[in-house]
Structure 1
Amino acid sequence: MNELKYCKRCLYPSTKPDLWFKNGICGACHAFERRLTYDWENGPSVLRQIISENKINPKYDCIVPVSGGKDSTYQAWKLLKEGYNPLCVTAPTDQLTPLGRQNIENLKKIGCDYVEISVNQSVRQKINRYGFFNVGDIQWPEHLLIYTIPVHAAVLFKIPIIVWGECPQREYGAGKPEDASLKYFDRRVLEEYGSLNGLRVSDLLMIDGVDEKDLYFYEYPSSDLVEEIGVKGLYLDNYFPWNGIANVTIAQSVGFKTYDKPILGTIANYENLDNYVHGIHDYLKYLKFGFSRATDVACNLIRRNLLSRTDAIELVKQNDGVFPAYYMDKTLQEILSIYNISIDEFLAQCDEYTNYDLFVQDSCGELVLRPDGSPTLNGDFNSINF
């Protein structure tokens, strides 16, 4: 049996992929603590120098990858406020929600030019299905395209600087300790941390009806093209303090809309509003690793002293890993039908990816289920003895 151990400060468990611990404290908490001593005063001038030294396109200063979410809305607003002219670039999500579309349209109203690059939906749905059955990630195409399409746009429009939001290796502790100080996003970061789950783009050629010509945007542009214009992916949180709650407030002030009801499986109504498939992804995450979206949100609130660890435990127990019977206004069956996946196939695949050692079992080895149908987590959130 795997014994879940938790960070002394937040609720991240030892099963979180790529997470490291020191003295019982997780990498995300260590990284946040170091940021308290950052020289934020000089951050804006450092960013200005980098953008100035790398400007090629006479009109645009940088590319901002956007989804229409709270953070990308904040990114666009912040760069405009600093006097830059960003080109917003998006790769639409797997099943874009009406609210997601509304928030994307809002980006165009705050003063940005906007480019949307969509891939062949028939091919994408085949890849979604393949990703679900082969690596347990129904959002696999999205997790790749959000990184590759902005780089393609940088090459196409000759805009070397891409300004991402937070560095995941810093904000969520997902990576080597030294990568919490990452300054640039590049091919190495994509391949190591880009949620590829061991699946290569070339593997997609095994899917019936998928040809090499269909995979252009899934591939990272060639090194020659990237180096020719000197593409550099920056993280905005290297130059300005990053706070998701503040981002929500600012984004709402310029037209960003949150959901009007609690979202199943989390404790927030202000993120992951753009894709009906988020609930499935988060549930698989819970089955594999014993934590999910509610934990991610709670940990960020704990670090910023907006939620006590004790209160967070109760909220996470109630909301994390809830069976995704629906997401926003669509049922699970409606969401799965796009990929020709039945409920029975979904349940069988969920069982295939469930780490039984993380959940309570009866005397016959069967999972003990909660009222919503999800497995009961085995362990205590106060198990912090590393």
Structure 2
Amino acid sequence: MLMYDEEKLKHDPAANFGRPYQQCSISVMDTIADPDIRFDEKGICNYYYEYLERETAAVPKGAEAERQLKEIVDKIKVSGAGNKYDCITGVSGGVDSTYLALMAKKLGLRPLIVHFDNSWNSESAVKNIENIISKLGFDLYTLVVDWEEFKDLQIAYLKASVVDIEAITDHAIIGTMYRLAAENNIRYILSGANVVTETTLPRYWIFNKMDHVNIQDIHSQYGKLKLKTFPFFNSTKKRLYTKLKKVETVFPLNYLPYNKKEVKDEITRELDWRDYGGKHYESVFTRFYQGYILPVKFGIDKRKAHLSNLIFSGQIKKGEAIEELSKPGYDLQQLKTDYEFVLKKFELTEEEFEQILKLPRREHSEFKTEKSVWDQYMVLKVMKGIRNKIKV
């Protein structure tokens, strides 16, 4: 198997996209993690300032945070009066979604819990979700996708050699949440996304999760099966749900004190939660994708972003992050087990998979992308032009 050599990448000019190697003076983000990273005269990277801006805008403190959270909770309860559920939230078995479910219970909310089963759940994830449901007394809706279709879609992404292979899972989750909210007359989606642990994420690593056109084009070129059951979603549908059904997404964790270590201790104590050892490692494929495919094929170590975000929010020191990065990102025995399991599940030989890893990176933008509603329809495009001229 190919193995990731961090030191070799650091001293390889090509791996740094023609730039001299540089690491942020505050965090562990560097020119390997992001070829477009920017530094000021003090050596501080743009991600630090972006974090401060997001925190200032979206993370109130103290009594103000409590007031705003109460206001949100009160609106949710009023909107759900007379309904079985007053909100909806997804669970993966990971830290953020587990803590959000626990806090929803403590805040007196009545969420419908949604889980997306794409056939990659670890045993620990299944147990964590079972504990959430049984101990908190919530109802669970599980969307199980057709494995043969989803496998064909994942393999298409691997062969297309694009970076954001997880976009298809995120796309399905987002679409399912909005659909279920509308069907159950639920106006509020609770999201576990939060500023203090998740702001730092280079665009070089990801693509628009909502772009159904991109997914369909990649699959049309590299897939074999017809996608009959995959829950496609798009921006137009989202606008309809938002405007007509008045579905709104809120982010409760931004209003709560959110220290990662303390949160892990709390959910372990109250829900018998089990730690996976990595962010989003509740999925076997996500663990393999983040721990092996990303660093080996794309030179991306996602730990740099996760640890940097914790540095920015004051939860760890830079020295702690450097020490963490000095450790293998993947337990070697677990890697061997996962490598064999993933290839067997995908029905790929080692030679076929290694050839995929050697393919050069392609950008998602090399495939078709979703146009705005104005550009999709000629009449609207003309109207847009007229409107812009009037504005001028």
* 2:201 matches 1:174: yes
Q: Distance in 2 between matches of 1:97 and 1:202?
A: 30
SS at match of 1:174: coil
Pair 1:27–1:237, CA change in 2 (3 A): farther
Q: Say which structure is richer in helix.
A: 2
TM-score normalised per structure 1 = 0.73
**Number of the residue aligned with 2:350:** 343
**Number of the residue aligned with 2:233:** 219
Counterpart of 1:61, as a letter, is: D
Write out aligned runs for 1:117-132 (5 A): 117-132=143-158
* 2:95 matches 1:70: yes
Aligned residues: 329
Q: Distance in 2 between matches of 1:48 and 1:19?
A: 40
Correspondent of 1:247 among 257, 263, 266? 263
SS at match of 1:331: helix
TM-superposed CA distance for 1:192, in Å, is 6.2
Pair 1:354–1:300, CA change in 2 (3 A): same
**Number of the residue aligned with 1:332:** 339
* 2:207 matches 1:200: no
Pair 1:21–1:61, CA change in 2 (3 A): farther
TM-score normalised per structure 2 = 0.72
Correspondent of 2:248 among 211, 224, 232? 232
Correspondent of 1:27 among 37, 47, 51? 47
Pair 1:58–1:142, CA change in 2 (3 A): same
Counterpart of 1:219, as a letter, is: F
Correspondent of 2:274 among 243, 247, 258? 258
Q: Distance in 2 between matches of 1:172 and 1:235?
A: 13
* 2:279 matches 1:279: no
**Number of the residue aligned with 1:116:** 142
Q: Distance in 2 between matches of 1:169 and 1:345?
A: 40
Counterpart of 2:262, as a letter, is: A
* 2:26 matches 1:9: yes
Q: Distance in 2 between matches of 1:171 and 1:18?
A: 20
Q: Distance in 2 between matches of 1:350 and 1:151?
A: 35
**Number of the residue aligned with 1:164:** 191
- Mark the structure with the bigger radius of gyration: 2
* 2:122 matches 1:91: no
Deviations 1:353-384 (A, max 9, x none): 479xxxxxxxxxxxxxxxxxxxxxxxxxxxxx
Is residue 170–residue 209 contact of structure 2 (8 Å, CA) maintained in 1? yes
* 2:359 matches 1:352: yes
Pair 1:204–1:351, CA change in 2 (3 A): closer
Q: Distance in 2 between matches of 1:50 and 1:104?
A: 27
Counterpart of 1:331, as a letter, is: D
Correspondent of 2:168 among 138, 141, 147? 141
Q: Distance in 2 between matches of 1:325 and 1:116?
A: 32
Q: Distance in 1 between matches of 2:170 and 2:149?
A: 15
**Identity across aligned pairs (percent)?**
18
Pair 1:36–1:61, CA change in 2 (3 A): closer
Counterpart of 2:307, as a letter, is: A
